[in-house]
Chains A and B, each alone.
Chain A
Amino acid sequence: MKIRSLVMLACTVFSVHASLADDKIKRSDYQRPEAIPAPASNPLTEEKTTLGKTLFFDPRLSRNEGMSCATCHSPDHRWSDGRVVPLGSEELEQPRRTPTVMNSAWLKALMWDGRANSLEAQAVLPITTPHEMNYNMKELVERLGEIKGYRPLFENAYGDTEITTERIAMALATFQRTLVSNTSSFDQWVEGDEDAISSSAQRGFQIFNDEAQCAACHKSWRFTDDSFHDIGLDDPDLGRGKVIPVEVTIMQHAFKTPTLRDLPENGPFMHDGSMTDLEEVIKHYEDGFIQRASLSKEMKPFELSDQQRADLIAFLKTLDGGPLAIEQPELPEE
């Protein structure tokens, strides 16, 4: 009788515990949105997307005509470049890894340090940055104006053939908004397909939200809070601290939380590309970070077993929807 009571009590406690966990971690928090957002000043259109895609792949947007946006944001590398140090940044003292442009339609702050607040504002930065495409918008407008093949593309997009900096930026932003992660096995699980991800990955999801508290920053369906944190990497780069008042200590060494969707197999990971496997990344978050005044308050040490780390990695791999099917555009002739 006593044993029966104990079993019933244990069942009740387990049931309450499981129910609390379910309440706390809602799969619906990770549900994909139904539509791609766009500002009223630059609505999504097929014609603008076509123009933006052509511009994105055109190396004539760089001064020496040798680098396009797609050189560093390549469809073959999940719209990044797979490099620790981006092309052209080899001589920089503090180079930063190329972030993906997937799911950028939802970004509220762009660049690792958040210095651009819209895709339209961001679009011209790589074109005009000396160590990247090293061009200027005035000369680019003139160059594109001489390429006859661009005229119908601008006319279709905007109603006339005029080429301006603003129109180039709007088209590039529009194309990038269409780059959305494919549905992954995790998404299917969120939608109710219980067998879509393994038991190990399901345990990893629990660890992600509980023990490891990854979800404090890697939240929403994009697994980012669009915010800035110093995660205690041994790197002198001040990140967001370079672009905001120096007295804001908490933003020193702070970088934007990157998405965890569609992670490349071997990274590189972190803003400086300093890690190449996910186990190393997890161990950094466990207790490998530097304690300093600017360290994010969300950086709290924890300890995982080898099995838990494997579960967490299994979960992260379920966020991969595979490469986007994209046809390279035909570049307009002179």
Chain B
Amino acid sequence: MSSKKWLIMLPLCALAALLLVGAFNVAVDPFGVFGDRIFNWYGYNETNNPRVAKLEWLEKNGDNYDSYVIGSSSAASYNTEELNEYFDASFYNLFVYGCDTGDYRDFAKYLIENHTVKNLVLNLGVNETNTYDAEDDPLKGSMHAKADGKSLPLFYLKYAFLSTRQSLDKLSSKMKDTDLPQRFDVFEPLSGCYDKRVRDVEKIGDAEAYQSEHESDFNYAAPAEQMPYIDKCVSVVSDIKKMCEQNGINLTVICSPVYIGQWRTCDESKMREYKTKLAGVCDYWDFSLTPISYDSRYFYDSTHFRNDVGSMVLARIFENENISCPDRFGRLVTEKDCKSYLDSLYRDPPQPELSDYTTDLPVLLYHHISDETGNDAVISAASFERQMRCLFENGYTAVTISDIEGFVLHGGALPEKPVLITFDDGYLSNYESAFPILQKYGLSGTIFAIGSSVGHTEYKDTDIGIIPHFDYEQAREMEKSGVIEIQSHTYDMHQNADYEKGDTVRINAAPLLDESEKDYAKAFRADAEKYNAEAQRELGHSFSALSFPGGSYTEQTQVEAKKAGFTVTFSIETDRRNTLVRGLKQSLYALCRYNMTNDVSNDRLLEILQNQPT
């Protein structure tokens, strides 16, 4: 081909290449700007740019919602299901990461102009006064042109002709995607919230352990300039308030919980200025500095409070007595009482005592009771009785699952020296020996029975003899006495590999090797549903506690257990204290237990009861 012809071909090829790039990007649509028809993966798109992808989600699904949360990532922890109940509405959490109040106004305006809006919840943290109209990453931080009024064609061109690397990243992420959240997929598209399933089941232990595990998350670096955008922020709130008034929308403004590390970097006069000016514009619920601010366990990191705290905030606003909130936890601030409120906050900060809201809980673990001692899972009746007497004589009170649930979830009290006595597997010996001994000393216990072996003396579906297990009648008798509570050790996820005929053997409730997250979730759910139905039938209640067979579990096991309705779970780890923290559901997860044998002397038992990690 002659060079001249080639020269004519050059711009045509360039055009073709551009179109190719554009077509690829539009098809893969890593920002969800073009409807994401192939993948429909808004969890990913929103992680890339929540401002753009969430708005596109609403363009498609806006009819399903009539109320919205607006704010930065500190607004992520308001659960939309709870909001729906409290407000009798359908909420979408339109929070975005990278705080910028200018965006809040744009969003409010966009929502009012394009969707039905009954309620708006506007959440304000401290950072709202630190940034305004910040230099945005043009792809990941920019606002949707439909909301900020910039040129729509240019907006679409930008996302059509972005680097193919963005699209390739989406493809490769798709291959790595799993059910649980990953770095590239942190949103729940339906609610708009973060998918915090994993962080909401992590162990939190005692305050020190948590702090040291998350040290870098809590090193809050204050911005160089203190709260320079107070006026901007307040004027945005004022604008949004006006818009709401004009359109008959119910506006709730919340100043969200602030971690003490961040609070202490804020200058008092600036903070007073902010709160006072805000009160001049509208009444607001202030949760900034409350007793929970002082404990990092209530936070994911120094600028994000936990989902459980979000529930507490809403419970406080809507006076839901069923959820535990500390005293001095949030109040409605008006222009009139703002000054006196701030005076009291600074004069007498609401710093709590640890004992006000936490307690240590030792948990003892027994299995079979028999004089034929064989292994660590067997204890003689005499030793058992000696240990129970020791508890009794030293003033320990045995508590039940509902006692500890009550303490953490509903603000109930626990006795001064609580202990939880548990039995795994559901042996007949528990009924014959342990039950009367507990009764004798006025103690109580929880038995985690394996569903498939209740009432069995032979391994299920075989004639292989096993240690006899009590039946439902005996179970009912024990429960009726108020001494024993029956809970779950799974229906059939504690199999014996030697006796099973099939290919898949579940010796415990952790995922099998190479099992997909989806398959595992299905298997776990099926087991829990089956057992709960049986318990409902036989015992008249379903289960709220689960002891992991063999103590084995993974992050996903706990996630699934939570989903299946288990509020308390037990491991057999002994490496940390069980510390129950009011309001934090996860302080009831994977509780440590000490395995009790004949060898445990009274002195050792008392040591264990001090709840020292070994």
Are A and B part of the same complex? no
